[in-house]
Amino acid sequence: MPTESSQPLVNRLVAERIDAHRRYNEALTALDRAIQVSAVSPPAPSEYEERMLPVINETLKAARATAPAAGSGWRGRLAEAVWQVVSPLFARQEAFNSALVDHLNRNAAAHRELRNAVTTELPALREGLDGLARFESLLVQFLQQITPLVDAKDREVREAIDQLRHVAEVAQRTAAMAKRELERGGVAHPAAALGESPGAGAPARASGDAYKYLGFEDRFRGSEDEIRARLSSYVPFFEGASDVIDVGCGRGEFLDLLRQSGIAAAGFDLNPEMVEVCVARGLSASHGDALTYLRQQPDESLGGLIAVQVIEHLEPAYLSEFLQLAFYKLRPGSRLILETINPACWVAFFESYIRDLTHVKPIHPETLQYMLHASGFSAVELIYRSPIAQDGRLQQVTPPAEHFGGAARDPVSELAAAFNHNMERLNSRMFSFQDFAAIATKS
């Protein structure tokens, strides 16, 4: 978990990563939009070549000036005189027109040669552009694969960092535990490490492995805020009570909730690491065994007792004596609350129960209810908690619309109904409630 001092650095790194992803996506989008599309076609003959140039050539031939026919009399002499004056102008104009048309003809020929050359080279050009388009498309696809590749590598790095962090935490706790053991001069007792009761005459001392279970709780049970939120619903059951005992108080989340509600309470735990966490927070907690503690209390001296995720760590004979002692030590009207994993939910059993090596035996809700009744508690209520989310359950099917509304159900509707019924039965066993609590009241 990042410390408070490291949080600004974490936030900055996250912001930089988000910004880098945004800029990468923008650049990839721009590249994708810039992919070239082959749209090259051979040039078509222009209207000038097809229609205008022949007309110009014919017009040039028809427009050549010729001398007027020789006439007689004064009219002929006048026409000849005028022709002598304008014929040089016509000659120059005709020379200009001939040169211009010749230029147009030569230009048209060059244009035809160019068009023929382009038409000949066009397939190679089109093939080159198509190859470029394929390359650009493959380039975009390659760049699109970078993101999941980087994310996969990033996940590997994060997982490695998390594992390293856990190893560092365990090493830190090992050093702290060793230091305290040296200061106390004690010898570790192996049973305490697993949350078990030491045998008769065995010293109730901390195991050198006690710190491991504290790390296990930190990693798998949930954060302190999550545990406080889950346990807050139990506080009203102890309203107005005093001398409440939290068996297996752990990190002290429930003790702190009771203190905030003005309810006097104390806790004890076999794990000295847990007890030291509680004491450091100003909570009343001590290191000890449940049976030993209860045997020392006067009858009807306790105003309440709670054990959250504890009884699955106890042997059956130990649990039976614990329940009987709890009945004797509680005042009339006081409550005993026992929360444990629900083994009737297969997901809870296979994902939570068997993960913890300190668990001894799962307890079915009806079995615990019976044991409480047999111990003298007349009112025992079972409350189921932590339901599996809907999207984590097996999903039912809906037949097509044409299979609804008929008086007689067709085979598809019958099959869907049978399938949904079986899914509901599986959900009720595999994906129901992960925990349950037995709330017993001493009448």
pLDDT of residue 173: 59
**Token pair 């109730």 is at which residue?**
204
pLDDT of residue 194: 37
Residue 114 resides in a domain: yes
CA dist., res. 387 & res. 395, Å (int): 16
Q: Which domain holds residue 136?
A: 42-64+80-150
Residue 233 resides in a domain: no
From 124, 150, 176, the end of a domain falls on 150
CATH number (domain holding residue 344): 3.40.50.150
Residue 288 resides in a domain: no
For the record, the structure tokens of 188 come out as 């570790």
Burial 242-272 (b: 16+ CB within 10 A, else e): ebbbbbbbbbbbbbbbbbeeebebbbbbbbb
From 150, 167, 186, the end of a domain falls on 150
Instruction: Pick the closest to residue 384 from 442, 336, 316, 439 (CA basis).
Output: 439
Q: Which amino acid is at 78?
A: L
pLDDT of residue 1: 43
CA dist., res. 320 & res. 95, Å (int): 130
pLDDT of residue 257: 96
H or E element that contains 253: helix 253-260
pLDDT of residue 443: 85
Q: Are strands 379-387 and 433-441 parallel, antiparallel or unpaired?
A: antiparallel
Residue 12 resides in a domain: no
pLDDT of residue 300: 95
Whether the full predicted model's pTM is greater than 0.75, yes or no, is no
For the record, the structure tokens of 431 come out as 């994906």
pLDDT of residue 202: 33
Residue spans of the chain under pLDDT 50: 1-5, 187-208, 210-211, 214
Residue 258 resides in a domain: no
Number of separate domains in the chain: 2
Order across the sheet with 244-247: list the strands: 285-287, 265-269, 244-247, 302-308, 330-341, 433-441, 379-387
Residue 266 resides in a domain: no
Q: Which amino acid is at 389?
A: A
pLDDT of residue 66: 65
Residue 382 resides in a domain: yes
pLDDT of residue 191: 38
Q: Which amino acid is at 292?
A: T
287-to-178, 217, 273, 290, 432 alpha-carbon distances in Å: 18, 18, 9, 10, 36
From 105, 135, 150, the end of a domain falls on 150
Residue 290 resides in a domain: no
pLDDT of residue 2: 45
